[in-house]
Structure 1
Amino acid sequence: MAIPTETLFLDPESERTLQQQIQQLVADSILSGRFQPGEKMPSTRAFARHLKVARITVSLAYNELVANGFLVSRDRSGYFVADTAPRRPQFTAPAADPDGAMDWQAAIANPQRPPSELVRPPDWRSYHFPFIYGQSDPRLFDHQNWRLCAINALGRKDFEALTTDYYERDDPVLIEYLRRQLLPRRGISAQPQEILLTMGAQNALWIATQLLLSSERTAAMENPGYAGLRDLLRQSRCRTHFVDIDEDGLPPEDIPRGIDAVFTTASHHCPTNVTMPQARRRDLLTRAREENFVVVEDDYEFELPSLRAPTPALKAQDRTGHVIYIGSFSKTLFPGLRMGYMVAPEPFIRQARSMRAYIMRHPPGHVQRTMAYFLSLGHFDAQLARMGDAFSRRRAVMEKAIEDVGLDLATPGLTGGSSFWLRAPAHVSTTDLAMRLREDSVVIEPGQAFFKPEEQNQQFYRLAYSSIATNRIPQGVELIGRAIAELSER
């Protein structure tokens, strides 16, 4: 019996390729029992005509299904559902017993609050003016060379890197590139045993808070500051002291006595973009040495262009081993990569490696090796140059648009990063502003999430240019100005 083509449809909203959709459609139909062993599949010509796709697309999908054991090909007869095709096991689910339902509220010993999130729609990419921070721009990413590096990492030559359980170790090729090429750009010298790969900067911060803090210890963080860190500090149950930043970032003299760990974005403060001057860095390191507390440095976005001379990382000036350095590839490659790293004295990295092993042993080996190829073959530096040119143009256009519209820069005169930190009029809530702007297909990020919980600060907002085309920036900024004027008149 032949399977009629009229019963087969593709999902127009799917993000998969047409070939992948056809494979999934047929495989799901076989696994569910809808297609039975021995039934004949539609011919490639008829299937392609019905779906309005190229015949070669259907042929390639069928060939993959043959290779995976779902279909068999018979000369001059076509394709058939294989007699040995995989099938889902059939089980009858027991009837639910509402009287004996598990009380999960009582069972969970450590309930977690949802993480703090910026006010942004999940479908922000569909908006015409997405001033969203930290997201990749597909127009700037080197898809072709990343694909080639991934193919190499999946090849026979790297079979061991692909399949081996590293246990607590990391890919030595990637570690060697980090310590010889990337870290020296921040003035940092490190041995392999002082570097640990993580699943992004957030994972690195989690490991640091788990090892350094407890309910009996005290941490200090910047205010405003990174909301994801604030959530981690709350989860650790430590006492948290919020230190208000100024035009030079974190003031070391405002850090109270008795601190066990200080978290800072010294080179590029989140979210204001200010840079801590050298005098403050020396003061912070002096206090860390004298009072024996740890400084955790989140050095995000250091690779992005700046009009001023680069400043070495705080870790580069650490002569006593008090600084834990955290870096990430999320802003320069893509956030979904989830690849970061920590640099710290070997005793801490040894403990961090053990902590990581409890959760995941190590980041996937093929991802590490793909990264190693992409970096070592020069593709990463080429991408940085491409991003640098694009971001410089976008920054200049946005800076002019902000000036022309008359928006208020909260930290004027800055020359780097991928965003601007702005201040709305005192009587305008930026949360309300963000919701109003969605009507104009504009997405901004209100600043409330960056401030300590008890501080209701609705005056600030962030505009990023990493995800928006240059030619859309002026109109988007103009719409923001109009919305602020409208809300000011209420």
Structure 2
Amino acid sequence: MAIPTETLFLDPDSERTLQQQIQGLVADSILSGRFQAGEKMPSTRAFAKHLKVARITVSLAYNELVANGYLVSRDRSGYFVSDTAPRLPQFRPPPPDPEDAVDWDSVIANPFAPPSELVRPSDWRNYHFPFIYGQSDPRLFDHQNWRLCALNALGRKDFESLTTDYYERDDPVLIEYLRRQLLPRRGISARPEEVLLTMGAQNALWFATQLLLSPEKTAVMENPGYAGLRDLLRQVGCRTVFAEVDQDGLPPEAIPHGADVVCTTASHHCPTSVTMPIARRRELLRRAREENFIIIEDDYEFELPSLRAPTPALKAQDRTGCVIYVGSFSKTLFPGLRMGYLVAPEPFIRQARSLRAYIMRHPPGHVQRTMAYFLSLGHFDAQLTRMGDAFSRRRAVMEKAIEENGLELATPGLSGGSSFWLRAPAGVSTTALALRLREDSVLIEPGQAFFNPEEPNQNFYRLAYSSIASNRIPQGIELIARATEELARA
């Protein structure tokens, strides 16, 4: 029996190639039992005509399906579903019994609250003016060289790095690059035993909070500050003190006596992007030394261009080992990479390595080796230069547009980063403003998620320029100003 072409369709919104879609369509139909062994597939010509694709695309998909055992080719007869094609096991699940269903609310011993989320739709790329933070711009990424590095990492030469279980260790090539090339740019010197790779900065912060805090201890975080950190502190059950930041970041005098851990984003404060001055950093380190508390330094965005001379990391000035340094590649490469690192004294890293081994051993070996190639071959530095040029142009355009449209910068005179922190007029809720702007295909990030939940603040919002082209910025800012004025009059 021949399979009619009219029953086969492609998804116009799929991100896969046409060949991949055809392969998946046929394979899924065979696995589900919709196509039976011995049935004849549509000819490549008829299939291509029906799908409105090139005939070679269908031929290549059929050849892959033959290689994988789904189809067989018979001379002058065409393609048929193989008698030995894979099949999903056919099990009939038992009928549900709602009366005796497990009460998961009572069974789960350690419930986790859902993480705080910014008001950001999943389809944000479909918006014309996406002023959202931390997302990569595919126009700036070096896809070709990343692909070549990935191919090298997957090649026979690196088969061991691809397949070996490192247990608690990391790729020595990547660790060596971090130690010799990346960390010295922040003034940090570290031995291999003092560096640990993580699945992004959030994962690194989780290790730190798990090892350093408990319900009997006190943590201090910036207000406003990183919402993801606040969630981690809440989950560990410690006492959390919110310290109000000013135009220079976290004031050391705002830290109460008796603190066990102080969390800061000294180089680029989250979300205001202000930089902590050297004198304030020295005072923070002095207090940590005298009062015996640990500092967690989240040093994101340090690679991005700055109009001022670069400032060494807080960790670079640490002489007693009181600073736990957190770094990440999410902002400079892409957030989906999920690659970060911890730098700390060896006793802490030893414990963090053991904790990591319990839950995931190590980040995937082939990802580590791909990163090692991309960094060591100079592609990473070229990427930073390309991003720096684009971000500098976008920043200048946005700063001018903000001034021309009368919007208020909450932290004027910033020197770098990838976003602006703005204040809305009194009485204007930036959460309501964000929802209103979606009607104009504009996305902003209301600031409520960054503040202490017990003292809500709807007056601030963040505008980022990492994901929006320069030529769209002026119109987007104009729409924001218009919607802001509209809500202020309401």
Q: Which residue of 1 aligns with 2:304?
A: 304
Q: Which residue of 2 aligns with 1:44?
A: 44
What is the distance in 2 between the residues matched to 1:73 and 1:378?
47
User: Which residues in structure 2 correspond to 1:95-114 (within 5 Å)?
Assistant: 95-114=95-114
Q: Report the Cα offset of residue 138 of structure 1.
A: 0.7
What is the distance in 1 between the residues matched to 2:195 and 2:74?
55
What is the distance in 2 between the residues matched to 1:117 and 1:93?
36
Q: Report the Cα offset of residue 237 of structure 1.
A: 0.1
User: Which residues in structure 2 correspond to 1:330-409 (within 5 Å)?
Assistant: 330-409=330-409
What is the distance in 2 between the residues matched to 1:294 and 1:448?
28
Q: Which residue of 1 aligns with 2:209?
A: 209
What is the distance in 2 between the residues matched to 1:198 and 1:398?
34
2:197 counterpart SS class? strand
What is the distance in 2 between the residues matched to 1:275 and 1:130?
25
Task: Name which of structure 1's ranges 156-165 and 73-82 shifts more when overlaid on structure 2.
Answer: 73-82
What is the distance in 2 between the residues matched to 1:261 and 1:372?
32
Q: Report the Cα offset of residue 57 of structure 1.
A: 1.1
User: Which residues in structure 2 correspond to 1:42-441 (within 5 Å)?
Assistant: 42-441=42-441
What is the distance in 2 between the residues matched to 1:91 and 1:326?
48
Letter in 2 for 1:24: G
Letter in 2 for 1:371: M
2:395 counterpart SS class? helix
Letter in 1 for 2:124: W
Q: Which residue of 1 aligns with 2:35?
A: 35
What is the distance in 2 between the residues matched to 1:354 and 1:55?
54
What is the distance in 2 between the residues matched to 1:9 and 1:330?
37
Q: Report the Cα offset of residue 451 of structure 1.
A: 0.5
Q: Report the Cα offset of residue 63 of structure 1.
A: 1.6
What is the distance in 2 between the residues matched to 1:134 and 1:479?
22
What is the distance in 2 between the residues matched to 1:419 and 1:90?
53
Letter in 2 for 1:281: R
What is the distance in 2 between the residues matched to 1:346 and 1:112?
30
Q: Report the Cα offset of residue 73 of structure 1.
A: 2.1
Q: Report the Cα offset of residue 374 of structure 1.
A: 0.7
Unaligned stretches of 5+ in structure 2? none
What is the distance in 1 between the residues matched to 2:475 and 2:35?
53
1:169 counterpart SS class? coil
What is the distance in 2 between the residues matched to 1:310 and 1:114?
37
Letter in 1 for 2:319: R
Q: Report the Cα offset of residue 124 of structure 1.
A: 1.4
Q: Report the Cα offset of residue 474 of structure 1.
A: 0.3
1:341 counterpart SS class? strand
TM norm structure 2: 0.99
Letter in 2 for 1:321: G
Task: Name which of structure 1's ranges 35-44 and 167-176 shifts more when overlaid on structure 2.
Answer: 35-44
Unaligned stretches of 5+ in structure 1? none
Deviations 1:294-317 (A, max 9, x none): 100000001111111100100011
Matched, 1:6 2:6: yes
1:157 counterpart SS class? coil
Q: What is the Cα-based RMSD across aligned positions, in Å?
A: 0.8
What is the distance in 2 between the residues matched to 1:285 and 1:61?
61
Q: Which residue of 2 aligns with 1:459?
A: 459
Q: Report the Cα offset of residue 290 of structure 1.
A: 1.1
Q: Report the Cα offset of residue 388 of structure 1.
A: 0.5
Letter in 2 for 1:14: S
Deviations 1:255-297 (A, max 9, x none): 1111111100001100011111011111111111111111000
Count of aligned pairs between the two proteins: 490
What is the distance in 2 between the residues matched to 1:466 and 1:173?
30
What is the distance in 2 between the residues matched to 1:432 and 1:350?
47
Task: Name which of structure 1's ranges 119-128 and 398-407 shifts more when overlaid on structure 2.
Answer: 119-128
What is the distance in 1 between the residues matched to 2:432 and 2:147?
42
What is the distance in 1 between the residues matched to 2:476 and 2:156?
49
What is the distance in 1 between the residues matched to 2:79 and 2:280?
72
1:146 counterpart SS class? helix
Q: Report the Cα offset of residue 235 of structure 1.
A: 0.3
What is the distance in 2 between the residues matched to 1:11 and 1:361?
38
Q: Report the Cα offset of residue 81 of structure 1.
A: 1.4
TM norm structure 1: 0.99
Matched, 1:447 2:447: yes
Deviations 1:422-458 (A, max 9, x none): 0011111111111111111111000011001111111
What is the distance in 2 between the residues matched to 1:445 and 1:8?
42
Q: Report the Cα offset of residue 45 of structure 1.
A: 1.5
What is the distance in 1 between the residues matched to 2:419 and 2:398?
9
Letter in 1 for 2:254: D
Q: Which residue of 2 aligns with 1:19?
A: 19
What is the distance in 1 between the residues matched to 2:376 and 2:206?
29
1:156 counterpart SS class? coil
Deviations 1:297-350 (A, max 9, x none): 000001111111100100011111110100000001111010000000111001
Letter in 2 for 1:325: Y
Task: Name which of structure 1's ranges 246-255 and 39-48 shifts more when overlaid on structure 2.
Answer: 39-48
Q: Report the Cα offset of residue 75 of structure 1.
A: 2.8
Deviations 1:69-126 (A, max 9, x none): 1112223322221111110000011111111111111111122211111112221111
What is the distance in 1 between the residues matched to 2:55 and 2:292?
69
2:222 counterpart SS class? strand
What is the distance in 2 between the residues matched to 1:82 and 1:145?
39
Matched, 1:468 2:468: yes
Q: Report the Cα offset of residue 157 of structure 1.
A: 0.7
What is the distance in 1 between the residues matched to 2:209 and 2:239?
12
Q: Report the Cα offset of residue 147 of structure 1.
A: 0.8
What is the distance in 2 between the residues matched to 1:75 and 1:51?
24
Q: Report the Cα offset of residue 469 of structure 1.
A: 0.9
2:157 counterpart SS class? helix
Q: Which residue of 2 aligns with 1:481?
A: 481
